[in-house]
Each structure stands twice: as C-alpha cells, then as structure tokens.
A and B are shown apart, each in its own frame.
Chain A
Amino acid sequence: MSSPSDLLFTDSHEWVRIEGDSATIGITAHAAESLSDLVFLDLPEAGDDVTAGEGFGEIESVKAVSDLKSPVGGEVIEANTDLPDNLGDINSDPYGKGWMIKVKHTGTVDGLMDAAAYDAHVAAEG
C-alpha cells in the first residue's frame, strides 16, 4: 500500500501535511497497524510549543507505549480533542479523521521523506 503523495513523513512513522505555515500531524497507516489495538492517546493543548524531532504526546496500545515525535517545530494551534475518545479513527482513517495536531510551524521543514521514500523505509524495516 502506498502512502498519500501530498504528505511528508518521519522515520518514526508520523506524517505531516504542510499548507502554508500550517502543519497537520498524525501517524501513518503502517504505524497504526503495527500498534494494533489502541487504548490511550495523550495530546498537547493549543498554545503548547513543539520541537521538531521531539515528543509532542504519547500513544498507548495493548502492546506498547510510544512517544509521538513532531516532524516540525512551532506552536500548537489546534489539537484533535475528539480523537482520544475515538481511537478507532486512527486505525480506520489515519490521514483524515485520525489527525492529531495542527501546528503553526516556524523554521525550515527538513529531514522528512516523501511518500516513495517513506514506503521504501517501511519495506526496509520489514
């Protein structure tokens, strides 16, 4: 399955949709599938700062607790507050209803992969 071509990706399986200075962030279909049954999601609040490459929240499945790493730095302008109560959306619609935060990003966006590179990364991870 190929990833959406309008998104950029981290090697830790987050996606980001850049629209001007707005960046919408979530986790990939591959990540959601690997985590399996999700039980808990902790997101930052609007107004919090996030740093590229550092954690912005955590996601817990029956298997593991994982940090969510931000692909970009900036200020959180909106968090998907409905999502912690509808974790199934992350599995069923990871690039749509499964979005997690919107960030007003500052600085350059770099070190991210396009869809083809990310799919190759997933294939290489096995």
Chain B
Amino acid sequence: MAQFLEQIINGLVLGGIYALIAVGYTMVYGIIQLINFAHGEIFMFGAYFAFLCVTTFGLSFWVALPLSMGMCALMGMLIDFVAYRPLRNAPRLSALITAIGMSLMLQNLARLIWGARWRKFPVEATPTVLTGNAIPLPGGAQVSFLDVFIILLAVVLMIGLNRLIHLTKIGKAMRACAQNRAAASLMGIDTNRVITVTFAIGSALGAVAGVMVGLREVTEPAMGYYKGVAAFAAAVLGGIGNITGAMLGGVVLGVAEALGAGYISSEYRLAIAYIIMILVIIFRPSGLLGKSTATRA
C-alpha cells in the first residue's frame, strides 16, 4: 500500500513535469501544425541554464529559475525566427525535417559544451525549503518537500496558463490562430507575433520542467530526448493541439509510467509511453479530449 501510494505520488510529479513540457508541444502544434522536435532540447537547455546560474555564476536558485525561463523563451523565439519562419508556407514535411535537424543540432551542441556526463544539481545551491525532510503520509508512505513543490508549481503554472489563454487579449488571439490562422490574420491579428509569443510561453514552461528534473534527477544532454518523447506522447494522448488535454495526458502518462516502472520493469518506462502513444494514434487519433479533426493532420 505504501509503495503504491509512493508510486502514485511519483507519477503525479512526473505527470506535472510532462504536462509542463507537453503544453509547449501542443500550443505550437495547435497554431502552426508543426511537431517542434526541438522543444525537448529547449527543456534540456533550461536545466543547464539554471545549473550554470547556480554553479558558475553563484546565483540564488530563486534568481536562476526565472533567468532560465527567460533564456529559454528567447531561445524558443530565436529557433522559430531562424528555422521555422522561413518555412511557414513550405510543405509540412520540410518544416518537420528542419525541426528534427534543430533537435539533433542542439542536443549535440549541449554534448560538446557540457560533455555527455550527467550532472547533479549542487545540494548547497538548492533552497533549504526544498531539501526539507520527507512528510510522512498515512500507511507509511513518504513524500519529499521537493515533490510537493513540483506538483504545486505545475498546478499554479497550468492555472496561470489557462487564465492567460482564456482571459487576456493575446490568449484570445492565440485561440483564434489555432482555429484558423488565415482568418485570424484577416481579422487584423498579427499572426507572426502570436506565434512568437506561443514559442516564448511554451519554452519558458519547458524551462521550468527542465529545472525541476535537474533538481529531482540529473541534468544531461540526452534528457531532452527521453523526457521530450514522453511529453510528446502525453500531448498526443490528450489530443494534440488541446492545452487542457496536454495537462491531463501528462498526468495520466506520468502515473502510468511510474506504476509501470514500479511494478513491471524500469527498463521499459519509456516503452510504456511509446505503446500508449501508438495505441492512441491508431485507435483514437484525436486523443482523450481532442475534437475529431485529427484525420487532417
């Protein structure tokens, strides 16, 4: 029972992280119908930026986190500007191949700069609030402060994103672009600006996820690939293009992965994400919450 509860909590933490990454995939897909393969790499760079801030520059963690978000937002916008924008009207295959090339390039850039070895976030740089003792739960299970913090942060950011999409002007513009970019443009919406903002928001949230994974696990060049694929599977599961779906998909996938790793085999934790992703695409391509427009994709 205690083990089960711990696996569930583990899954929720993982789910929060996946949700943070998955909204980045899904928002970009919703507006420009591109699987931004490089998003996983932005997430990885987010972890490295925060790591550099606290180690090389000796900054506080609470400064490093927003700094890393800002850097990643810039990076996301830059990638869109340099690589994707020139191909906006090219065949979809070209943009997809560019995204793969970008991912390949960034991942190996990180490997060249920081080496392939994983790095642990220094304990002395971690805020004392987060290193606190484990909180005991009924049934003998325990949950660490860090895990509680990650879940809370993910929930707060998701609510914030939801409010942004539904209450602000730019959110309305984003929804309009997702429905029909050409029509939105005719209504006087600067679609290029909306796309830039979308990349910035998605990348910043990805950076948060990166920092959290860096704190909880390790920082390494391959993390963007592993976690990125799983988060993408979460976005597909929830219905690609659907932001609420991405959040739900992230949590479902996180819990499924934690339970699978705990009870089946930890070697197959990624395989679970792949299998869920393939089954969803084949049997319900619109995902859990998507509308039935997926055949167009």
- The answer to whether A and B come from one shared complex is no
